[in-house]
Structure 1
Amino acid sequence: MELRNLPIILKNAPGFLGAFFLVAAGTSCKERDQGGDWTGQSQSTPALAPALASAPKPASSPASAGPVAKAEAAAKGALVRLVTYNVENWLTTDRYVDRKLVPGTPKPEAERRKVTEAILSAKPDILGISEIGNERDVKDLQKYLSDAGMELPHFYLNRGSDLTRSLVILSRYPIGKTVAHENLSYHLGGREYAMLRGILDASIDTPAGAFRFLGVHLKSKREVEDGDQEEMRRQEAHLLRREIDSILEADPQARLVVYGDFNDTRNSPTMKTVHGSGRGSMSLNMIALKDSRGQYWTHYWDYQDTYTRIDYVLVSQALRRSIEWDHSKIIDNEAVAGASDHRPLLVILKK
């Protein structure tokens, strides 16, 4: 049966409200699955005055140590900074400019500069991006970063059935094996649908070891005529879980990182499907990142006037002890304002 792509609904959110931010200290987290017991977690009302606390640099080896000792110490202390970010349509599409719909318009210059500034503030070694367009848009982002002094020369672009929005991972380190996942379709209401943005799958060797990254951007909460948006998103989550199971069944010790814009809340059927049941080798650990004020929200939707947590990073059991919990966080400094309707997530990985 021929696959039917879902219609693209243009979104032109004006971004976050108000003026940002006062400097505050980062909150400390323990080394554990911060997703809790999946029975609910209280979250404070969002405030619009957060700030970013800088993560300390790893200590260098003692000058008196020999070459072997230095190498071992460097490997042990190696940290890799992963940033995941929905950059809100870094692509060419129809947009409202001065209240008029203008076809074929790129992301505004001011917003691109703000996104660049937000990324620079997080200092990523690996950058997982949602809502970018084609390869030309990726190279445009690379140029903005390079002009600002950040080189992420390697990238892998994944395109699904959505011909407008794609996923890309950029890296300071060469990207190794990539997997193009096929058969990402499901049936709903007697019709067949393709997973809109697909699943980005890339392995990267870093100073902190080898990691396998799965990036996603699941169906949005916006209603469409073709079907129920919540059920579509849940079906996409089942497709993702199928690929996670396949990876972990083949290698229970896989150093797997699953990240992206899941477009659903923590206790939703979508996220429970992705997380997996129990705490066995097949389940993932959710990193419940907070901003500098202890708040969890990652997205502001102006249409509904809601602040929600819909962006996540989850890791396999093999990586449970490879997270710098105390310095992983939601980036909430001044640069984030006006860049996107999402906030970037920072996770620091280690050996």
Structure 2
Amino acid sequence: MRGGGAAPGPAAAGSEAESPTADRLRIATFNLENLGDSAQPHATLAERVRLLRPQLLRLRADVLCLQEVDAQRGSDGEPRRLDALDALLAGTPYAAFHRLTTFSRSHGGPRDKHNVVILSRLPIVNGRQVLHDLVQPPLYKAATGDGATAAITWDRPILHATLQAEAGWTLDVVNVHLRAPRAAFIEGGKASASVWRTMSGWAEGFFLAAVKAAGQALEVRLVVDQLFDADPEARIVVCGDFNADSHEAPVRTIRGDEEDAGNAHLAFRTLVPAERSLADSRRFSVLHHGRPRMLDHLLLSRALLAWYCGMEVHNEALGDEAVTPQALVGTPASFHAPLVAEFRVAAD
């Protein structure tokens, strides 16, 4: 299991987090936003840990999916390590959880930036990274810039773990971080790092970003259907930062819709957004120019939905990512709210 790093054992002494019960299961997701990126201004790692750790403890999660975990360079010749994540988890139950993380195919260690990570109290019996394993990069000839033809590759892998409880049941967790709707790189399209030469160039970059998100979503859907092929009653949760609302194309692609497909018999292969059980006033994980948006999701298979009790979105202290004053650009906070869903495990 690449990047598995299993760390079984009792919860850390003195932790404030509640110990899990035999019949309760809490699954959470949280985009930490560039954890460990030394290029970020102002906020130190210590400040970030001080602010983020209470948020993790409040989740009381048995399974925790994280996004945007950067890796730090070790000694010469050694792969990068997730030192910042280790510092954040120190003294919490999560430090003793089993771990699966994305990795670089070139050097085998964690990717430099934006790793996705699965932490689990339950043993991880199988884990894999999926990046163009099921969908090959499409070739595209640019209409602007230098007009080059290049492959459109996804920004980040998908991470899939199969967890197994002592009672024998299994849970498939798919952790995703889809491309944000920001214009992608076009060779020769920019005058500087943040300035496009033409509006057409920006528009093409924005189009390519949509292609990347759609392609990632398609590959996630193929992973989900593989799981349903192996077990039609599979308990599956797809969670993470989708950078899209539930009605937008990337999320619709992943969750599926028997009405879109024109086949009612496919209803058992659809995934249900857990946030549908929340009041509209609580249904947001990001604020953008004062507009609340639900960009982070937990999508549940019908078999897992049978155990579902409810969901929390910890958005009380959420800042607006678009209008934060320049002095707070380096805030230690994340502009994503953590999400957690609770389940009551029933005997089969």
- The TM-score with structure 2 as length reference comes to 0.68
1:331 lines up with 2:282 in the alignment: no
Question: Distance in 1 between the 2:300 and 2:82 partners?
Answer: 26
**Quick check: 2:179–2:212 contact (8 Å CA) kept in 1?**
yes
Q: Give the one of 325, 341, 344 matched to 1:347.
A: 341
Q: Give the one of 130, 147, 152 matched to 2:91.
A: 147
Percentage of pairs with the same residue? 23
Deviation at 1:294, TM superposition (A): 3.6
Deviation at 1:334, TM superposition (A): 5.3
Deviation at 1:93, TM superposition (A): 4.2
Superposed CA deviations along residues 46-97 of structure 1, whole A, max 9, x for unmatched, are xxxxxxxxxx999xxxxxxxxxxxxxxx85xx11111100001102242234
1:322 lines up with 2:307 in the alignment: yes
Deviation at 1:309, TM superposition (A): 0.8
1:198 is aligned to 157
Question: Distance in 2 between the 1:199 and 1:107 partners?
Answer: 29
Given residue 84 of structure 2, which amino acid in structure 1 is its aligned partner?
D
Question: Distance in 1 between the 2:92 and 2:303 partners?
Answer: 36
- The TM-score with structure 1 as length reference comes to 0.67
1:115 lines up with 2:48 in the alignment: no
Question: Distance in 2 between the 1:117 and 1:289 partners?
Answer: 26
Question: Distance in 1 between the 2:270 and 2:344 partners?
Answer: 20
User: How many aligned residue pairs are there?
Assistant: 268
1:125 lines up with 2:62 in the alignment: yes
Question: Distance in 1 between the 2:247 and 2:124 partners?
Answer: 33
SS in 2 for 1:180: strand
1:239 lines up with 2:224 in the alignment: no
Q: 1:182 to 1:217 in 2, by over 3 A?
A: closer
Given residue 153 of structure 1, which amino acid in structure 2 is its aligned partner?
F
Q: Structure 2 stretches of 5 or more lacking a match? A: 1-17, 73-79, 106-110, 142-149, 187-204, 259-265, 320-330
Q: Give the one of 9, 25, 34 matched to 1:80.
A: 25
Structural RMSD (CA): 3.1
Given residue 155 of structure 1, which amino acid in structure 2 is its aligned partner?
R
Question: Distance in 1 between the 2:50 and 2:339 partners?
Answer: 18
Q: Structure 1 stretches of 5 or more lacking a match? A: 1-55, 59-73, 98-105
Greater RCO (CA < 8 Å, at least 6 residues apart)? 1
1:176 lines up with 2:125 in the alignment: yes
Deviation at 1:180, TM superposition (A): 2.9
Deviation at 1:123, TM superposition (A): 1.1
Superposed CA deviations along residues 144-200 of structure 1, whole A, max 9, x for unmatched, are 333256544321111368741110011223221112325344315343222221110
**Quick check: 2:94–2:119 contact (8 Å CA) kept in 1?**
no
Deviation at 1:341, TM superposition (A): 0.5
